[in-house]
């Protein structure tokens, strides 16, 4: 066991360094952990040997996989069913097109421009089809757009987009055998059942120090993950769907969600993101930077081609359409999950993985910067001057001197 404890210490030391860096530089912990993983692999690899970090040891792979599953579940549980019910038509159209356009476009560019194999190209399409719900949500909160119909529809569309990514990741590489059918049928039986049972079960036996809720949810996630893996699908697919199914019940239990976050951020996701970073090859990125540029442009261009016309067709004015398009070109967590899935299942090579992850990271930052600098629909922001709002403006009420709005979440 000495070896395992020593390795665990090393990984948690890296996690601690990554967390400190994220606090000092105010960057996302996930991004910090990916970068620390990449640098650690470079340095430790040069000093001791590439095996020292042990990124492929079974217990590290297990913790890392559990991190991805629980993180995906929590992301699904963030869905606001009320908003979705109100804006489902608009959200579904924008979300599906925001998924399909980069999925087909990036896959085609990977296949015919970069000459990647068919499977690798599909994986690339999936990884670059994502939209970061968090980036969109943060921008909406910052500008107060989350209260507008426009903001609500875009947020709901992001969930649909990610749902497309997760479903395709789970099914495109599945062999479509009887097992796949059994998995789909299993989902159709289990999801309505847990929707009915979970809140009741928690009411009967929950809120005790024995943490029944966490054990129940982990059982669900591992159980459905096992069925998905048995069907040669991906465990994050049922995790995201379970999160969405339980969003209106478990997702509203803030104490439980907080306890799950502690488990996730404290132990699981550091292993996931540091591992994801440690598998990135910096020499490959430095040797072929054009591939990264092609993929980043491909993602932004295909999102533009798909999302912009549909926003105009839905009646958004030019500025709103461009802003929505840019925000929906972002992505981080699901992009990384898809890329790592591809590498683990030998669908993509380490070089291809490095390019996809670098593109995913860049796509989390660059489109938001462009959107806020050039395409911000300022007229949708809560009014700051008196007078009647012009046509198409927000209906946010004017504020008297000395009056603040309520908390903007």
Residues interacting with other proteins, by CB under 8 A? Answer: 22, 24-31, 71, 74-75, 78, 132-135, 137-138, 141-143, 254, 257-258, 261, 264-265, 330, 332-333, 364-365, 368, 382, 384, 399-409
DSSP symbol at 251? G
Read out DSSP for 130-160? Answer: ---HHHHHHHHHHHTGGGSHHHHHHHHHHHH
Query: Which C-beta is closer to other proteins: that of 140 or that of 284?
Result: 140
Minimum CB–partner distance for residue 49 and other proteins (Å): 32
Nearer to other proteins, 132 or 354 (CB): 132
> By C-beta, is 264 or 352 nearer to other proteins?
264
Q: CB 407 → other proteins: shortest distance, Å? A: 5
Cβ proximity to other proteins: between 273 and 308 the closer is 273
What is the separation of C-alpha 358 from the centre of its chain, rounded to a whole number of angstroms?
15
All residues at 6 or more sequence positions from 304 whose CB lies less than 8 Å from its CB, including other chains: 325, 329
DSSP-derived 3-state class of residue 235: coil
CB of 139 to other proteins, least distance (A): 9
CA distance 365 to 132: 10
CA distances from 313 to 96, 100, 283, 371 (A): 15, 17, 45, 20
Nearer residue to other proteins within complex by CB, 80 or 232: 80
Q: Is the Cβ of residue 114 or residue 135 nearer to other proteins in the bound state? A: 135
Give the CA count within 13 Å in the CB-facing half-sphere of 81: 11
Whether the Cβ atoms of residue 256 and residue 86 lie closer than 8 Å to each other = no
* 26/208 with CB nearer other proteins: 26
Contact in structure between 340 and 139 (CB atoms under 8 Å): no
> Minimum CB separation from other proteins for residue 265, in Å?
7
Q: Tell me the two tokens of residue 161.
A: 């987009």
Residue 67 Cβ, how far from other proteins at the closest point, in Å?
A: 11
| Cβ closest to other proteins, residue 54 vs residue 65 | 65
Residue 380 is classified by DSSP as: G
Burial class (CB in 10 A: 0-12, 13-18, 19+), 68: buried
Compute the least distance from the CB of residue 44 to other proteins, in Å: 26
Helices (H), 53-80: 58-77
Quote the least distance from Cβ 274 to other proteins, whole Å. Answer: 15
Contact 180, 158 (CB under 8 A): no
Least distance (Å) between residue 300 CB and other proteins: 15
């Amino acid at each position: 066991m000495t070896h395992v404890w020593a390795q665990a210490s090393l990984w948690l030391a890296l996690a601690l360094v990554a967390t400190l860096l994220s606090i000092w530089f105010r960057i996302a912990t996930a991004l910090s952990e990916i970068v620390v993983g990449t640098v650690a692999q470079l340095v430790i690899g040069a000093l001791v040997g590439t095996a020292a970090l042990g990124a492929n040891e079974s217990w590290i792979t297990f913790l890392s996989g559990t991190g991805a599953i629980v993180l995906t579940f929590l992301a699904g549980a963030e869905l606001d069913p009320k908003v979705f019910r109100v804006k489902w038509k608009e959200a579904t159209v924008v979300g599906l097109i925001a998924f399909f356009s980069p999925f087909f476009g990036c896959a085609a560019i990977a296949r015919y421009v970069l000459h990647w194999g068919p499977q690798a190209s599909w994986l690339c399409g999936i990884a670059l089809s994502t939209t970061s719900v968090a980036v969109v949500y943060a921008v909406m909160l910052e500008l107060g757009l989350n209260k507008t119909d426009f903001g609500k529809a875009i947020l709901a569309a992001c969930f649909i987009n990610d749902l497309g990514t997760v479903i395709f990741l789970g099914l495109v590489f599945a062999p479509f055998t009887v097992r796949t059918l059994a998995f789909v049928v299993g989902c159709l039986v289990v999801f309505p059942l847990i929707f009915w049972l979970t809140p009741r079960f928690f009411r009967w036996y929950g809120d005790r120090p024995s943490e029944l809720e966490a054990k129940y949810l982990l059982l669900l996630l591992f159980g459905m993950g096992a069925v998905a893996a048995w069907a040669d699908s991906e465990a994050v697919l049922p995790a995201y769907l379970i999160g969405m199914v339980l969003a209106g019940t478990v997702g509203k239990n803030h104490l439980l969600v907080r306890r799950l976050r502690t488990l996730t951020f404290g132990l699981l996701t550091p292993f996931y993101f540091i591992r994801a970073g440690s598998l990135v090859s910096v020499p490959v990125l430095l040797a072929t930077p054009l591939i990264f540029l092609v993929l980043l442009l491909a993602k932004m261009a295909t999102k533009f081609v798909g999302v912009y016309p549909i926003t105009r067709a839905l009646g958004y004015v030019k500025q709103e359409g461009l802003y929505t398009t840019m925000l929906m070109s972002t992505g981080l967590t699901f992009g990384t999950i898809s890329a790592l899935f591809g590498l683990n299942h030998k669908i993509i090579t380490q070089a291809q993985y490095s390019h996809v992850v670098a593109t995913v990271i860049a796509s989390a930052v660059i489109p938001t910067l462009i959107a806020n600098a050039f395409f911000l629909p300022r007229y949708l922001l809560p009014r700051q001057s008196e007078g009647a709002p012009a046509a198409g403006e927000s209906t946010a009420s004017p504020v008297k001197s000395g009056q603040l709005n309520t908390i903007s979440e």
